[in-house]
Amino acid sequence: MILQSISKAIREQNYYAVMLEFVIVIAGVVIGFQIQAWAEARAEQSRAQYYLNRLYLDLQLSAEEQAETEQYYLEYHRNAADISNALTRDAVDEGEMNSLATRINSLGGFRDIRVIDTTLVQLFESGDIALIQPIGLQEAITRFYSQYRLAHQGNDNATRIHLENISRLNDLVVHEWIDGARQVVAIEPDDPQLASVIESMAWAYSTYGFLQSKFTQETEAMRDTLRPYVDGSVNR
């Protein structure tokens, strides 16, 4: 229709009508592009908000699990430290040695640094971190992601040290299979290596707890940074 009108105006040498028709065509194209750009921006903003909502929930649950892991390592550290102190005393009677052997069975526990990372990893692997605005929030999430990766590298090292300690411990105690489980049933009271290994385990549990505590603080700080963007306090 518009092309027919333009052709007719040209034949009739009605250049005013020609210009008007061209303006209408160009305006229509520009408005179409603007509507498309607006729709794309709205879709990206909606996707970014979806990520923020999910990430906030992930961090909330992670902080709760991390608090439990901190307590877990605190108890393990106390137990290992008590056993180590008992083994380094001058005299330990047979009854206490049997009790210590039983308590050593509880020293094999280990937990990874707890974080629900599904949303966090997806944000960066997909490149959708670029959708997060304002830029300050995007940078805060990027810093947290770097801290998360460092924490997991530290966790890998902690796992290796823990397995080495368990291997050394197993070489220094007497085991028996009881009710389908391998249990420590006897230890050498005067073995300095045993006291050294358990002292190393106590130190390791303390270190794991410290690393978990530090990452818990970072997780809670990131969660608190996200909160106003999730509850509507900040208008993005």
pLDDT at 9: 45
pLDDT at 79 exceeding the cut of 70:
yes
pLDDT at 43: 75
Domain ranges of the chain: 2-230
More confident residue, 67 or 119: 119
For residue 228, what are its two tokens?
Answer: 């106003």
More confident residue, 137 or 19: 137
Least confident of 28-42, 157-171, 197-211: 28-42
pLDDT at 30: 63
Percent of the chain with pLDDT over 90: 25
DSSP per-residue codes, 52-115? HHHHHHHHHHHHHHHHHHHHHHHHHHHHHHHHHHHHTSS---HHHHHHHHHHHGGGG---PPP-
CB 216 within 8 A of CB 56: no
pLDDT at 81 exceeding the cut of 80:
yes
Q: Compute the average pLDDT of residues 69-87.
A: 85
CA-based nearest residue to 210, from 73, 61, 62, 59? 73
pLDDT at 221 exceeding the cut of 90:
yes
pLDDT at 92 exceeding the cut of 70:
no
Q: Return the percent helix, strand and coil in the chain, to nearest 5.
A: 80, 5, 15
Measured distance CA(212)–CA(70) in Å, rounded: 6
Least confident of 16-20, 87-91, 103-107, 196-200: 16-20
Q: Compute the average pLDDT of residues 119-138.
A: 93
pLDDT at 27: 59
What band does 83 get if pLDDT is binned at 50, 70 and 90?
A: confident
What band does 94 get if pLDDT is binned at 50, 70 and 90?
A: low
pLDDT at 36 exceeding the cut of 50:
yes
pLDDT at 10 exceeding the cut of 50:
no
